[in-house]
Amino acid sequence: MQKLNDIVDLDTYPIENTAFGERCLNILKSEGVLTLPGFLQENVIEKLVEEAELQKQNAYFTTSTHNVYLTPKRSDLEAEHVFNRQLCSSKGCITTDQVPPGSYLHTVYNAEIFRQFIAAVVGENKLYEYADPLSSINVHFASEGQELNWHFDNSEFAITLLLQSPKAGGRFEYVKDLRRAEQDDMNYAGVEAVLDEKAMPSYLKVEPGTLVLFRGRNSMHRVTPTKGDRTRILVVLAYNSEPGIALSESARMTFFGRLG
Ligand SMILES: O=C(O)CCC(=O)C(=O)O
Ligand SMILES: [Fe+2]
């Protein structure tokens, strides 16, 4: 096992320090997003890109249509209603069990210091890995033309590490606090304005090696289509607030095409 220090820039980001964690928590709270550029050491990014390129042939590629709420259509609303508007997304994905056993990604994901830092920043006591062998660490590939269309996440927060940017496109765009899921406020007018390009989203400038924490349940977001022949490669690290929980079978079939 490698040391976390050799993988992550702990001088710039003292993640074991409680005060640093509190600063990050406050940024995530006020901005809805926290970016830590240069979180991964330069040589680590290179190694992880090489590793991902080798695994890409084993990725599960899917194209799906979905609404922005990631729910089935509602027949009591018209087909043209923004709730029922269908968008297209496509990507390739490799799962935790396909990440080589000696990979830096396992070290970061399992490091107690890292886990405690993420827990503190997202306001949980403790975080746990998924009980199934697929869902904890995923590597996403978006080749030319592939995109992740507008959506709200089901999960409270997402943790990503960009490994490789495409030559153009592949931009993370978002509209902060566009709905309030807790109050069942779907804000159809606001969503429609963004889809029809009448309201401008914000966007993140993310370089490879950046750690991004994003609260996507109420902030609608997308990744624009990749342009050019360099694949966008992104790691998603996923945790639970309770131990022993697997991702649902239907979600595993949709994302990975298998259960285990
Ligand atoms: O690819 C990204 O940067 C964001 C991914 C995302 O929004 C998701 O997986 O729900
Ligand atoms: Fe998302």
Domains of the chain as residue ranges with CATH? 4-256 (2.60.120.620)
Rounded to an integer, the average pLDDT of 63-86 is: 95
Rounded to an integer, the average pLDDT of 184-211 is: 97
pLDDT for residue 43 is more than 80: yes
Ligand 1, from 94, 140, 174, 224: best to mutate by most atoms within 8 Å of Cβ?
140
Nearest ligand to the CA of 160 is 1
Nearest ligand to the CA of 162 is 1
Beta pairing class for 137-142 and 168-169? unpaired
| Ligand 1 mean position, distance from CA 236 (Å) | 8
Rounded to an integer, the average pLDDT of 220-243 is: 97
Residues with CB under 6 A from ligand 1: 140, 148, 153, 158, 160, 172, 216, 221, 223, 234, 236
Over residues 157-190, the pLDDT tens digits come to 999 999 999 999 999 999 999 999 999 999 999 9
| Ligand 1 mean position, distance from CA 95 (Å) | 15
Tell me what pLDDT residue 156 has: 87
Ligand 1, from 34, 172, 222, 231: best to mutate by most atoms within 8 Å of Cβ?
172
Span of 1-10, 27-36, 125-134, 198-207 with lowest mean pLDDT: 1-10
CA distance linking residue 8 with residue 12, whole number of Å: 9
Q: What is the mean pLDDT of the chain?
A: 96
Nearest atom in ligand 1 to 162's CA: 3
Nearest atom in ligand 1 to 140's CA: 1
Tell me what pLDDT residue 2 has: 75
Residues with CB under 5 A from ligand 2 (ion): 153, 216
Structure confidence at residue 10 as a pLDDT band (50, 70, 90): very high
pLDDT for residue 27 is more than 80: yes
Rounded to an integer, the average pLDDT of 90-97 is: 96
Nearest ligand to the CA of 233 is 1
Q: Enter the tokens of residue 79.
A: 């087909």
Q: 203 with 171: CB under 8 angstroms?
A: yes
Structure confidence at residue 217 as a pLDDT band (50, 70, 90): very high
- What's the pTM? 0.96
Tell me what pLDDT residue 1 has: 61
pLDDT for residue 140 is more than 70: yes
| Ligand 2 mean position, distance from CA 113 (Å) | 25
Degrees to nearest 5, angle at CA 73 with 70 and 75: 155
| Ligand 2 mean position, distance from CA 148 (Å) | 8
| Ligand 2 mean position, distance from CA 150 (Å) | 8
Nearest atom in ligand 1 to 206's CA: 3
